[in-house]
Amino acid sequence: MTKHSIPHELRNHLVDQIVKASPPGLYDTRVEEAMRAVPRHDFIPRASLELAYANQAVTIKDNPDPDALPLSCASQPDVVFFMLAQLGIQPGDNILEAGAGTGYNAALMRYLTGPAGSVTTLDYHEDVAAHARQRLDATGFGDVRVLTRDGALGAPEYAPYDRLIATVGVWDLPASWWEQLAVGGRMVLPLRWRGLTRSVGFVRETDRLRSESLATCGFLPMIGQDGEREGYVDESRLVKLYWDADQPIHPLSLRRSLAEAEEHLLWTDVVVAPEEPLDGIWLRLSALDPATCRITVRPEAFTGTAGLHRPAVPALSPALVEGDSLAYLVLEPVDVRSGKRYRLGAAGYGPAGQGLAERLSVQLRAWGNDRTLLPSIAAYPSGTPTGNPTDGQIIDKPSVRLVIAY
């Protein structure tokens, strides 16, 4: 594509790339048609055509805190594609969206519902909602309802909904969404737990939501949900943990264990290619070990002779933390006949560091035996009895009980 390319050429080129790389099972020919028809650049008029049709998120509302995440973004187009594929919109559907953004996603959904359908989109920020309203009116989607309100409240005045989608990271599942989604309807949301985020496609059953699909994604967190915790381990603020409110994790209790850097390093026979995703390891840990959380380590902490072992992904690696001990995922290059590969292992620190490293290694080997297997996720209203805990890892949040199992 050259700088003289016209919008529809850029748009079709982007969609071609997205379709080619779409995750297995998450392709929908009607979503492809919608993304070729609806002009993304009209919803982000301040962006260049090249940026509008690049496969990346675009900030539309900055945060006054320079160290914080933006307040609103236009989602990355490939994520838009697979989330709408998860949603499975049918002609005539009544749809609720939490997080209006630019209005582009609502326009795609309105296109997919056809003349008999309807779309209601909500945003907490008045100026963001106003932008979405103006852009939808200007692009022929004036019948999309745009409401300025907390997305967690939903819009009961237009319920029940056949489809519900959140385009913000959701840590807890508001009770209002249960009430407003019809039995048999679908809900897609970027669900956050144990330091990770996955787009989960749920089907509403009488007493629960049952997952049908999972995909890796990243979204700005929903305003008003404060169940996620974070904290630095060391005085130099180089090592940081992210965990959930129900977990008894206290970063400062790990300070001595990391400062002494007495390392327990365990390597497995699990080998990965340079670009092979490691997301399934984290999913498996979250379903099978209650100590699972996230660790980020700045480069200064693992350089030099006395540093920590480098995490597999320094900015985003799974860890196990109990008391004054932790273990996290590591890798190292190895030479094999098929080319450069990486061997996976675990680095443990603290009195129980070796045991935690062994637990992590067990799950590495299990993942290595079946790298495509995904867990099932069931969501129940808070307080619902869910039977034998061995049926899956139970994670309780204020409004929802998750059961994650393999």
pLDDT tens digits for 156-205? 999 999 999 999 889 999 999 999 999 999 999 999 999 999 999 999 99
Q: Which pLDDT tens digit goes with each residue over 103-144?
A: 999 999 999 999 999 999 999 999 999 999 999 999 999 999
More confident residue, 60 or 96: 96
Q: What's the CA angle centered on 145, arms 141 and 147, to 5 degrees?
A: 135
Q: Are strands 376-381 and 181-193 parallel, antiparallel or unpaired?
A: unpaired
The single residue of 5, 22, 48, 75 carrying the catalytic annotation is 75
Specify the pLDDT at position 72.
59
Name the CA dihedral angle for 330, 334, 340, 346, rounded to a multiple of 10 degrees: -10
Specify the pLDDT at position 5.
63
Mean pLDDT of the region 222-233: 88
CB 371 within 8 A of CB 401: no
More confident residue, 73 or 236: 236
3-state SS string for 302-359: CCCCCCCCCCCCCCCEEEEEECCEEEEEEEEEEEECCEEEEEEEEEEECCCHHHHHHH
Residue 317 among the catalytic residues: no
Specify the pLDDT at position 68.
43
Alpha-carbon span 182 to 210, nearest angstrom: 14
First to last CA, the chain: 44
Alpha-carbon span 394 to 11, nearest angstrom: 43
Whether the predicted pLDDT of 342 surpasses 60: yes
pLDDT band at 304 (very low <50, low <70, confident <90, very high): low
Cα-trace Rg, the chain: 22
Among 3-7, 86-90, 103-107, 401-405, the least confident range:
3-7
Return the closest-CA partner of residue 202 out of 219, 224, 185.
Answer: 185
Percentage above 70 pLDDT, the chain: 92
Return the closest-CA partner of residue 164 out of 231, 126, 109.
Answer: 109
pTM over 0.75: yes
Cis peptide before 160 (omega within 30 of 0): yes
How far is CA 173 from each of CA 86, 87, 245, 375, rounded to the nearest angstrom? 18, 17, 15, 19
Alpha-carbon span 240 to 195, nearest angstrom: 12
- Residue 188 has which token pair? 């897609």
In this structure, what DSSP letter does residue 368 have? H
Specify the pLDDT at position 64.
53
Alpha-carbon span 136 to 129, nearest angstrom: 10
Specify the pLDDT at position 337.
66
User: Torsions phi, psi of 168, nearest 5?
Assistant: -135, 155
Alpha-carbon span 174 to 164, nearest angstrom: 12
- Residue 239 has which token pair? 């090592």
CB 301 within 8 A of CB 234: yes
Beta-carbon contacts of 157 under 8 Å, excluding residues fewer than 6 positions away, are none
